[in-house]
Amino acid sequence: MSQSLNLDKGEYSFSTCWNIRRQPSGAAMIREISELGFRYVELNYNVTKEMLTEIEPMIERGEIGVSSVHNTFPHTPDPDYGTDSVLLGFEDEERRVKAVELLVRSAEYAHRYGAKAVVVHPGEVPIAHEDVKVLEQLYHDEGKDSQAYREAWASFIERRESAADGYLQRIIHSLDEVCNLSASKGLNVKFGIETRSRPNQMPTLAEAKKVIDALKGAPVGIWYDTGHAIMMDRMGLYDSVGEMQGLMDHIVGVHIHETIGLSDHWCPYVHSGDPHFYDAYLPMIQRAGVKVYELKAACETQQIHESHELLLQKLAALK
C-alpha cells in the first residue's frame, strides 16, 4: 500500500479482539491498531488489568481514544461472568447481583476513558452448546431447507421459547438496576445490548425491542453486531434487516464484520467476494453513534484498508 495514501479512519474504531492474542503487551497492541489509521479502539473483554497499566498512559496522553469497552471489563476469568453465560438473567440472586456489579464496573472504566458505550452480552437461554453445534452441523451438511434441519430447528425453538421469558424479565430487571447505579455514580455512558452469534443467546431483535421498550428513557439501546445478525438470520432466528425497522432509532453502536456461511469476523466485501450482500447493513452502520470494526486475527492489514475504502464509498453513495 502506498505510503501517500491517507490511512486516517476518522470516527471509526477498531476492536482489540484482532490482535490481543498476538500482542500480549498492551502498548504494542494499541500501537499496531493505531498504525492501521484508527484513532479509537474498543477495549474488549480479554483486556487484562496488567495490559491497562500500559494502555491507560496512552489514553491520558491522547495517543488513542476509547470508543467503547466490552463487558465484562477488564477480563474476568470466572466463566459465570464470561461472554457466553446467563449473566444478567441468572436465577441465582447472588450471581445475578454480581453480574450487575461487574457491568457497572465496566461502565466506570468506560466513563473514565471517555468512551461512549459499553457493549453488553445480556445473557442466554441455557441450552447446551453441544445441542447448538448439532444445529450448526446440520446447517452446513444438509442445508437450512432440509427436513433434518427444519425438524431440529423446530424442536430447538420450542425449547428456547418455553424458557426465554423468565430470563428476559431478569435481564430487564438487571439492566434497570445497572442504569440506576450508573446514574447515581454520574456515569455518562450508554449500554448497547448486542446481537449474538448463537441462537440460544439473547437478545433476538424482538427481545431487544422488549428490553428497550421496558426501559424507556434509560441509556439502553441495541448494539447491532452485523455479522452475528447475518448468522442468526441464516439459521432462521430472525429477519436481520426487516426486524430492524422498529429499532433504527435505538442503535447505540455497531460491530462491523461479515460472515462466510456461519463463520464471522471477516472484512466486509473483501472476504465474501460479494460486492452487494452487505449493502443491506449499511443503514445500520450509518445510524450508529459508535462504529467499530470487530475483525479476527486472520484479517490482514491490506484487506482491512481495502474493506474500509469500499465501505466508505458505499456509505457515501447512500447519502
pLDDT in tens, 161-172: 999 999 999 999
Q: Give the whole-number percent of the chain exceeding pLDDT 70.
A: 98
Does some domain include residue 135?
no
Residue 5 scores a pLDDT above 60? no
Sign of CA dihedral 86, 195, 70, 215: negative
Q: Which helix (H) or strand (E) holds 15?
A: strand 13-15
Give first-to-last CA distance, the chain, whole Å: 28
Neighbouring C-beta atoms of residue 63, cutoff 10 Å: 14
Does some domain include residue 140?
no
Does some domain include residue 6?
no
Task: Give the domain CATH number at 117.
Answer: 3.20.20.150
Provide CB contacts within 8 A for 99, sequence distance 6+.
81, 87, 88, 90, 174
- CB distance 314 to 308 below 8 Å: no
- CB distance 32 to 74 below 8 Å: no
Residue 3 scores a pLDDT above 90? no
Indicate the pairing of strand 258-260 with strand 65-70. unpaired
φ/ψ (deg, to 5) at 259:
-120, 150
**95: containing domain:** 13-125+165-318
pLDDT in tens, 124-149: 999 999 999 999 999 999 999 999 99
pTM: 0.96
Does some domain include residue 260?
yes
Domain count for the chain, please give it. 1
Does some domain include residue 154?
no
Distance CA 294, CA 31 (A): 17
Does some domain include residue 159?
no
* Collapsed DSSP state (helix, strand, coil) of residue 117: strand
Q: What is the mean pLDDT of residues 230-257?
A: 97
Q: What is the mean pLDDT of residues 59-79?
A: 97
Sign of CA dihedral 245, 247, 251, 255: negative
pLDDT in tens, 252-284: 999 999 999 999 999 999 999 999 999 999 999
pLDDT in tens, 192-229: 999 999 999 999 999 999 999 999 999 999 999 999 99
Does some domain include residue 131?
no
Does some domain include residue 226?
yes
